[in-house]
Amino acid sequence: MRRYFLSAPRFLILIVFLSTLCGNLLALNEQLMPLSVQVARGDTLYSLSKNLFSGEKVSPQQVMLAYQRINPTAFKRRNINGLYAGVRLMSPTLSEALRLAPREAMSEVRRQNELYSIVTSEASEEVLALMDRNVALDSRIAELELLIRAKDGENAALSRRLTSLSTRLDETDKEVSLLKLQIASLDLQLKTANEIKVVDEDTSLSAVPKLNAENSISPQSQSAQSETGLLAILILGVVVVSLLSFLWLRRRGNDHNSEPTHNRASSAGGRESDKRASLSPNIEPELQTPSGEISQEDEKPASETQFENQEVMYGIEDPDSELNSNDEASEDEIATKLELAYAYSKMGDMESVRKILGEVVGVANASQRVEAENLMKGLLEPDDGRDKEE
């Protein structure tokens, strides 16, 4: 029950809303689509006009004249008072009724009423002819009004068409503007690409002489590298010759200051001189006397001045001023042999290194023997590694 009382007001509101909507639709339909009225006997134009637009600010006289303009053949002698019975009248719209002002409509109705009273009382031929002409004019006016309606419809259609064309024209203008922007962008890109192409061509053309110059310089650089390698080999040979010269000069000093060790030094010097002779043909071998002693007058080589200059160049002092005893001379000789062994190891002459180390181990002191043994181990380890690889 409670639910019914709650839904009843809503239902009533819905009914009122629908009725209002239907009324508005009917009124709109009456305005848009003209209605027709069947004239019965006893009906007057005034009675049909006063209730057509109820509630609107339009007078019955305006509606009467609108009926007359739309339906000119329904009136006798083109007078609002001569309405035929049984005809169907097309109802005018509100805009058609408002075409005449209320004062003008009142004046026209009064004129037609006076004219109808004169016609009915006297019925003169002139008045009848005038009324016939008015009827013809009214018919023409009605035709023109129909033509105006048609033209208005055509004008409305043309106006809509013009609006559509204007819209399309605006869209076309926008598309043309976008195309112009795209064309300008493409032109700019093409110009940039051409500039880049020209720069690349210039760069490639400038790179060709550089490549030719590099190709022309490369043989010179190769020859320079080969000359550098030869110079390095020459310097290494000079160093080896200097070491051998230093050893030879020191041995001479030892032989001059110590007679007891002469035989051992001469034998070692003989072996070393053989090695020096095999390494450098420019170094002359030792010259010994028939008795086995070294003669200072006979041992003056032609290159002694050269060796003395090399001693000054490499900072080698005179061995006569350094060796004061036989023990010190022996230790210096062994140290020199060790240096010579290191030099042969750098040159890759392992056989000479082994011979020199064999001589050093027999006569060296404890520290020099350890150094010689370490060098011998270092030489033996690569040989063992090569044997394992084979």
Domain residue spans of the chain: 31-123, 234-389
**What are the Cα distances from residue 341, in Å, to 47, 233, 254, 355?**
152, 19, 20, 9
* C-alpha span between 196 and 81 (Å, rounded): 96
This model's pTM is above 0.85: no
pLDDT in tens, 111-159: 988 887 765 555 556 666 776 777 788 778 888 888 898 898 899 999 9
* C-alpha span between 311 and 1 (Å, rounded): 138
More confident residue, 361 or 92: 92
End-to-end CA, the chain: 116
* C-alpha span between 123 and 126 (Å, rounded): 9
Per-residue model confidence (pLDDT) at position 40: 86
Mean pLDDT, rounded, for 308-332: 50
pLDDT in tens, 370-381: 777 777 777 656
Which residue type occupies 22? C
pLDDT in tens, 221-255: 556 666 677 777 878 777 887 788 778 777 776 66
**Given pLDDT bands bounded at 50, 70 and 90, which one contains residue 3?**
low
* C-alpha span between 307 and 304 (Å, rounded): 5
Per-residue model confidence (pLDDT) at position 380: 59
Mean pLDDT, rounded, for 93-119: 85
The phi and psi torsions of 42 (rounded to 5 degrees) equal 95, -10
Mean pLDDT, rounded, for 341-346: 79
Per-residue model confidence (pLDDT) at position 141: 85
